[in-house]
Structure 1
Amino acid sequence: MTELAGMLDEAAEGFGGLVRAVEPDQWRLPTPCPDFTALGVVEHVVESLIQYADLADAKRFDPELTVGLAGADVFAAYRAAAVRAVGVWSREEVLAAEHSLPWGPMPGRAVLGYLVLEHVVHGWDLATATGQESPFGDALVQAADGIARGLSEQDLRQPYMFAVPVRVPGDAPLLDRLVGFLGRRPSTVD
């Protein structure tokens, strides 16, 4: 397993722990990501895991894929998608390949980096909405921050991606600075 694949595995474990701890009455809570409830965040991450695993395994990406988990075992659905994606994206030939996406070709390592970033940011969304602590270690957050800041503004700020940055104090925790960079308003912001 490459270092980047190990990061996805770590991020998936942390995100899965958050999902497992959500109380049944919390699934409809709003999150800092304005498009999603707590359940909607998990459905979105599961969709991404399925889409990108299909991309690597079957050379197809369905941008219209929707996952509905209301009434389902949300943790089991997340875990199944995560295990599959981590397995697929741990293969060196998948990372080394260029993958055809609807918006253009993307190197495998960039796809995997995006999955890591998505887990950390949406994990923060889910933790914030449900009153949990972030499970992500400093090294993983630092890697996700590097991935985010390595993306072009055009890629970051396109519709349905990330909002304009929120100013966060320079001495705030790195996770707060990362989510602020991606348009969220952490508690360290007045």
Structure 2
Amino acid sequence: MMLYRALVVDSWGQPVRKHRGASFSHDGSGHGCGGTAKSEIAAQQCGHLAGTGQFPPVFGRQIGRRAPVGLVVMALLTIFMVIALDLNSIASLGGAVALLIFSTITAAHFKTYRETHASLIVLIVAVVAALGTLVVFALTTLADEPKTAIAFVVILAAALLLEFIWKSVRNRGRPRSASSGQPGSR
């Protein structure tokens, strides 16, 4: 009998060790454990982000003491995408969004690269590679799939609009501090 340990990371990035026989599935069989663990982590993250003000507070609430609102909203959006788009379009959107996220995170890392001791050259290469791939992807795949291109633009515009609206609503009730205009303040 071979013993092994699986390393799982909880929603706050802390390692959680599970031994053989321990399961994340509801029935203890170990089947489908990835989906159950991921949905539980997603639910915890929605609650945490709602608690910190990154998401609206409603995303931290639960429907019927069981289903987190944030998870239900994501499930409904996923169902809508599955109905509205074909599998190739969904895969293309996933790739485009991932490239955009990688580029944004790496670009944001430029502010703190000295503190994190990151290589500036590696960051530059990473941003150029990710954005270059996104441009090539947009010129080839999205040009051949106008429905996917429209969906990408709509998703991006909706995300930016919702972020702008949420930040303005969230900050409306907060007093402005003297440091709010200073660099490095949030």
Name the TM-score, length of structure 1 as normaliser.
0.28
Name the TM-score, length of structure 2 as normaliser.
0.29
Higher helix share: 2
Task: Indicate the structure (1 or 2) with the bigger Cα radius of gyration.
Answer: 2
